[in-house]
Amino acid sequence: MVKVREDQPLTESGKVDIQQWLTRLQEDVRLREPERLQEACELAEQLDREAPRTHRVWLSPGSSFRMGLEMADILADLKLDQPALEAAVLYRAVREGLLSLEAVTKRFGDEVAKLIDGVLQMAAISYPLAPNHGMSQHNQQENLRKMLVNMVGDVASP
């Protein structure tokens, strides 16, 4: 059964009420460490707020932070685990160059960073087909190469 997602709960000032969002999210999925997901949300919100307009190539009029929450809502509906939800919240910040994978690894662990990197590599397939979005052809080719190498490594692993 498909559930209609609600918009993110807002405070009086119009900001997303992260605590209320987390409470609602936990109706669908059990979080081992809700404070870690809250930290990811707060970081993504801060990076989105501080990002210069030139970094908003993926969601020109929108918010990468809110898009991350929407992605996490969908993954929670699918009953994915906490690392997947953290990766969803942080993905856009990494994709837009506001946060490095190394910083994600240090703060949220290797699993979250690998999930984000995997999605970035999968997105590399669509880069040659879509408008450039500021990525050079060399970077597009390198991302595609990494994805293919990782796919071969996944197949070869027991």
Per-residue pLDDT of 69-112, as tens digits, reads 999 999 999 999 999 999 999 999 998 889 999 999 999 999 99
Radius of gyration of the chain (CA): 16
Q: Is residue 118 part of a domain?
A: no
pLDDT at 157 over 70: no
Q: Which range of residues forms the domain containing residue 95? A: 1-109
**94 half-sphere exposure, CB direction, 13 A CA radius:** 25
On whether both 52 and 99 belong to a single domain, the answer is yes
pLDDT of residue 125: 64
On whether both 17 and 74 belong to a single domain, the answer is yes
CB-based contacts of 52, cutoff 8 Å, min separation 6? none
Q: 0.85 exceeded by the pTM?
A: no
On whether both 7 and 39 belong to a single domain, the answer is yes
